Amino acid sequence: GEDVEQSLFLSVREGDSSVINCTYTDSSSTYLYWYKQEPGAGLQLLTYIFSNMDMKQDQRLTVLLNKKDKHLSLRIADTQTGDSAIYFCAGPSGAGSYQLTFGKGTKLSVIP
Amino acid sequence: ETGVTQSPTHLIKTRGQQVTLRCSSQSGHNTVSWYQQALGQGPQFIFQYYREEENGRGNFPPRFSGLQFPNYSSELNVNALELDDSALYLCASSLGVGRSSYEQYFGPGTRLTVT
């Protein structure tokens, strides 16, 4: 099955770029996801990337996928205080699996 | 378009009791997945229902059970509650199985506290 690892904390200044990193183990993962969780709330699907892509850009968000190293990153440009949250990387647990395996989450703190 | 809703928002139960959590899927979605999120952890997959049938289960004991109704809403039942069952229970809905199932949209969760 899939195993997903993330660093636990990241602190950036408002206006700077944030880069959140994730590594995964299952090379058959077809999709990889980024979710955002604000305090006391559920998970918000931010973006996802197909395994046949290297990069996906969506407004301030850029996802980079390095399949060789099984490394996924999420870059947030011009980080705002509203971006403060926990960010989860997730992937399906095996080819054709419909269940998602999540990392423990990276807590992003934005300093005004 | 109505998003995923869950009830209740918060719940306090005593060890050994039983609990039922409810989820209404997003309009047009026929698949519901349940996740348990312990404090400081990522969500863990419990099971998924597609068209009223269980379609995959994570590493949870049989005292965790579920149902999906013809309108695609779902229930999660937990019997013989243990202190470690205290967590945020998240419901996610998606459309069908296969590729489109991978876009899972989450509800706000039910915070269960077992004392």
Taking only the tens place, the pLDDT of each residue in A21-74 is 999 987 777 789 999 999 888 899 999 998 888 999 999 999 999 999 999 999
> A104: burial class by Cβ within 10 Å (0-12, 13-18, 19+)?
middle
Model pLDDT, residue B88: 96
By Cβ distance, the residue of B41, B42, B102 closest to A92 is: B102
Helix (H/G/I), strand (E/B), else coil: A16:
coil
Strand A9-13 to B64-68 pairing: unpaired
Show which of residues 64-93 on chain A sit within 8 Å of chain B, judged by CB atoms. 88, 90, 92-93
Residue A66, pLDDT score? 93
Band (B56; pLDDT cuts 50, 70, 90): confident
Q: Which of B36, B64, B104 to mutate to test the interface with A (most CBs of A within 10 A)?
A: B104
What is the spatial distance between Cα B110 and Cα A21, in angstroms, rounded to a whole number? 29
- Dihedral of CA atoms B69, B43, B81, A98 in degrees, nearest 10, equals 40
Mean pLDDT taken over chain B: 92
Q: How many residues does this entry show for chain B?
A: 115
Q: Residues 6 or more apart from B84 whose CB is under 8 A from it?
A: B38, B114
Q: Exposed (0-12), middle (13-18) or buried (19+): which is B5, by Cβ within 10 Å?
A: middle
Which chain B residues contact residue A90 at CB under 8 A? 42
> Is A43 close to B97, i.e. CB distance below 8 A?
no
Instruction: Provide the 10 A C-beta neighbour count for residue A45.
Output: 16
Q: Is the pLDDT of residue B52 over 70?
A: yes
What is the per-residue pLDDT for A13? 97
pLDDT at A97: 64
User: Each residue of A77-95: pLDDT tens digit?
Assistant: 999 999 999 999 998 876 5
Cα–Cα distance, A41 to A96 (Å, whole number)? 29
